[in-house]
Structure 1
Amino acid sequence: MKAFFQVQDVDAVHALAQELPPLPAEEVPLEQALGRVLARPLTAPADLPGFTRATMDGYAVRARDTFGAGETAPGFLDIVGEVRMGRAPDFSLGPGQCARIGTGGMLPAGADAVVMVEHTRLLDETTVEVAASVAPGGNTLGPTDDAAQGQELLPLGQRLRPQDVGLLAALGQEKIMVSRRPKVGIISTGDEVVPVGSSPTPGQVRDVNTHSLAAVVARAGGEPLPLGLVPDNAGALREATARSLDGCDLTLLSGGSSVGVRDFTSEVFLSFPGAELLVHGVAVSPGKPFLWVRTPSGHLLGLPGQVASCLVAFYLLVEPILERLQGRPALPFARFARVPAVLVRNIPSAPGREEYLRVALRQENGHWLASPLFGKSGLLTTLIQGQGLVRVPKDCEGLDASEEVEVLLFPN
């Protein structure tokens, strides 16, 4: 067991997350597959498209019959049929012959290319003038151009995008094996926190963390289960935590994880049978008081109470756990794009910890400029005014103005 508030490196927390086994697989219908994570690789059960098809409206031809054709010396072909959409042609092409065909139509036997309709002129019902040559395979898709039978198309752990769902549909996959979505209980603590619909009196604030955490959990692939507000009372906190453990894989508690006279979160978490303290304290800002207790029923995670710190700590420390439970690598900022930018002013920092600072971006002369936002961790507006985060490495005293940095862009 880790000692209470024995600060660990961020990489050590990620290494613990990487050791977690993925949740069991489940089968879902294709219409529910978007955003889910494949529990097994997808291999093509058959060739795709499985036949040679046209990619342009025009005429199916034997490419050799068009060689040398041009605007000043067109060729002439006999029209011997028309390809019906959704049907295999019941005729074939011989020398000097062609057939009308639409995009997606199956080429008849003997044809190996399509001349676009823009390069032809109909002379009569049975003769077409061709003003351009076409190479074999021109304006067509071959039987295995999208996929060959047995080919791996999507790897294990792929989070399914719209285009992936389209591929599954093309392959006739009505049901998909995916990792089960982690169920995440969300608890907000604090005598000063009131429901969103309340009118706060002096000294009170509305419950922001429950709703913010539910949103980022859902976007990370989890199923959020808000469990309500809990006062600064050990009995109430234990009861809410027990309810979460009863049906959730993870429990997120915001507030009450920092060192102080009223801090009883770790004691409550560790009061459950088989509980083990994995992390209490990380060498990072924000997120230093992060708490992770593992129990036989699920994982209990304590996050900072200040909203900006809570969300950054989620992206850095909680999302890797959610990723791993879904069968993916335990990487932070999984949905953040990255852009290079130049700092416009110095960023001071204390050595011995990583720091993630919010920045606002603007473009100037084709380059991104990053302006640090030094607001306190309780300010939600700094997350709204800023477009991303800049990481200050652990063993440095800050970053200098004009230094190029990588900006982690907040997901849309």
Structure 2
Amino acid sequence: MKFFNVKTVTETLEVIAGEFRPNRPPIEVSLIDALDMVLAEDIISCEQVPHFARSTVDGYAVRARDTYGASDSLPAFLDVTGKIEMGKEASLLIREGQAQSIPTGGMIPDGADSVVMIEHVEEVGDMLNVYRQVAPGENIIRAGDDVEKGELVIAAGQRLRPQDLGVLSAIGKTRVLVYPRPIVAILSTGDEIVPADKKELAPGEIRDINSITVAAAARQCGAEVIDGGIVPDDYSSFAQKAKELFERSDLLLLSGGSSVGTRDYTEQVMQSLGDPGVLVHGVSIKPGKPTILAKAGNKPVVGLPGHPASALIIFHLFVAPLIKRLQGQELAQYDQRILARISRNIASAVGRSDYIRVKLEEREGGLWAVPVFGKSGLISTLVKSDGMVEISANKEGILEGEIVHVHLFQ
């Protein structure tokens, strides 16, 4: 393979950020269906949450000043004038020297500014002995403490998590505008590749790993997946199947066929799908240099390396951000990295970015990243890994004990 437009990792991510965005309009869905989808609108609250002040404990609603100085040896004495019930309005005013029984979540009556916990009082008839003072606002959630009216609750571009759905339900927002889940089509190529369910392998045959692992990774990113199967190293059948899948998807992934060889048709097929064509023809990275990124119309097409470990590393670096972009997210929103110390010296060649698979271990002194070495055709190295560490193109390596960023695998 000749590399005509090799980019660095940073340059490739800049191409992704600049060239791709959602290619289908937003849709409206119910909250129950919106989990892990990306919001396409800013959500502004039309009301306060909660819309009334309420207690966070079981106890008695009081005026804080009436409890000042209270202790086990010298309690404050208050008159119990009522009981507040859950789900009902607290209609009785609290006056000086008075208290009302209140459950957790009960409405704070007018005049009260705090709640004394039930553990710190003793009720004797209509008299309440208070053995601990409270401060104004103690054990109370005020109206609007959670969400204020007119507040930006969630901004467009946020992937909706369970807690996000919870706050939306709290403000009565039961339907939201989101970007459709991107449809990712995966096509494996190679005369030697056979379906994973084939029981007996002939000499030279290899079960298809990438279509399973890449499909699973795409689903983790919130995409729907079309399994395009396997095509042989034949331009006509490869191009025909790729075109069919391209028309049915938002993102087409071609697995294999991007290594050196006379039957490498990946670039030709990608160019045939439409203009502007290939944007990145190789990335200065190890593993995964033979990666190709193209754009046909407004859709991305990616040629992944055939080796399983390379394919998944390239997926995490470039395909995951592409899927995020197709859902209206900024690239910074997908990055999951933590700090650790590298457990040994690792050499690297200047001029390319090396990605080292690592396993995280908790040791004395903190978190350590232990390299998991192995060739790019070995899927087991990823099974043993928690993430990967980048050695940037301008470094000759990293030293034992050096703090590194670990890109976590999901």
TM range (shorter): over 0.9
Q: CA deviation at 1:116?
A: 0.4
Cα distance in structure 1, aligned partners of 2:6 and 2:231: 27
1:159 maps to 159
Normalised to the residue count of structure 1, the TM-score between the two structures is: 0.94
1:139 maps to 139
Q: CA deviation at 1:261?
A: 1.0
1:372 maps to 371
Cα distance in structure 1, aligned partners of 2:187 and 2:332: 24
Cα distance in structure 2, aligned partners of 1:69 and 1:92: 23
1:216 maps to 217
Is the aligned partner of 1:201 residue 2:202? Answer: yes
- Per the alignment, do residues 335 and 218 of structure 1 end up closer, same or farther by CA in structure 2, a change over 3 Å counting? farther
Superposition pairs of residues 54-133 of structure 1, within 5 angstroms:
54-124=55-125, 126-133=126-133
Q: Write the deviation string for residues 108-157 of structure 1: whole angstroms up to 9, x where unpaired.
A: 12111111000011112x22211111111110001011111111122221
Normalised to the residue count of structure 2, the TM-score between the two structures is: 0.94
Q: Is the 8 A contact 2:341 2:401 kept in 1?
A: no
SS in 1 for 2:331: coil
Cα distance in structure 2, aligned partners of 1:151 and 1:402: 45
Cα distance in structure 2, aligned partners of 1:111 and 1:400: 62
Q: Write the deviation string for residues 210-269 of structure 1: whole angstroms up to 9, x where unpaired.
A: 111111111112111111111212122112211212221100111002232111111122
RMSD value, Cα? 1.7
Cα distance in structure 1, aligned partners of 2:213 and 2:124: 68
SS in 2 for 1:80: strand
Q: Write the deviation string for residues 309-367 of structure 1: whole angstroms up to 9, x where unpaired.
A: 000001111111111111111359x35331221332x2222221111011233232133
SS in 2 for 1:46: coil
1:311 maps to 312
1:257 maps to 258
Q: Is the 8 A contact 1:341 1:407 kept in 2?
A: no
Q: Is the 8 A contact 1:356 1:390 kept in 2?
A: yes
Give the aligned residue type for 1:265.
T
Q: Is the 8 A contact 1:343 1:404 kept in 2?
A: no
1:392 maps to 391
Q: Which moved more, 1:18-27 or 1:73-82?
A: 18-27
Cα distance in structure 2, aligned partners of 1:399 and 1:328: 32
2:6 maps to 7
Cα distance in structure 2, aligned partners of 1:214 and 1:152: 35
Give the aligned residue type for 1:257.
S
Q: Is the 8 A contact 2:181 2:224 kept in 1?
A: yes
SS in 2 for 1:239: helix
Q: CA deviation at 1:282?
A: 0.9
4+ long deviations beyond 3 Å: none
2:300 maps to 299
Cα distance in structure 1, aligned partners of 2:210 and 2:136: 62
Q: Is the 8 A contact 1:339 1:409 kept in 2?
A: no
Q: CA deviation at 1:158?
A: 1.3
Q: Is the 8 A contact 1:36 1:179 kept in 2?
A: yes
Cα distance in structure 2, aligned partners of 1:267 and 1:4: 13
Q: Write the deviation string for residues 361-386 of structure 1: whole angstroms up to 9, x where unpaired.
A: 32321333333222000111111112
- Per the alignment, do residues 136 and 181 of structure 1 end up closer, same or farther by CA in structure 2, a change over 3 Å counting? same
- Per the alignment, do residues 403 and 274 of structure 1 end up closer, same or farther by CA in structure 2, a change over 3 Å counting? closer
- Per the alignment, do residues 69 and 400 of structure 1 end up closer, same or farther by CA in structure 2, a change over 3 Å counting? closer
Give the aligned residue type for 1:362.
E
Cα distance in structure 1, aligned partners of 2:273 and 2:325: 24
Q: CA deviation at 1:104?
A: 0.5
SS in 2 for 1:276: strand
Cα distance in structure 2, aligned partners of 1:4 and 1:390: 25
Superposition pairs of residues 166-177 of structure 1, within 5 angstroms:
166-177=166-177
Cα distance in structure 2, aligned partners of 1:71 and 1:402: 55
SS in 1 for 2:46: coil
2:17 maps to 18
2:400 maps to 401
Q: CA deviation at 1:175?
A: 0.7
Cα distance in structure 1, aligned partners of 2:260 and 2:188: 17
Count, aligned residues: 406
Superposition pairs of residues 336-355 of structure 1, within 5 angstroms:
336-344=336-344, 346-355=345-354
Give the aligned residue type for 2:194.
V
Is the aligned partner of 1:181 residue 2:199? Answer: no
Gaps of 5+ in 1: none
Gaps of 5+ in 2: none
Cα distance in structure 1, aligned partners of 2:8 and 2:53: 56
Give the aligned residue type for 2:15.
L
Q: Write the deviation string for residues 61-94 of structure 1: whole angstroms up to 9, x where unpaired.
A: 1222212221111112222111111111232222
Q: Is the 8 A contact 1:53 1:142 kept in 2?
A: yes
2:282 maps to 281
SS in 2 for 1:35: coil
2:382 maps to 383
Cα distance in structure 1, aligned partners of 2:13 and 2:254: 19
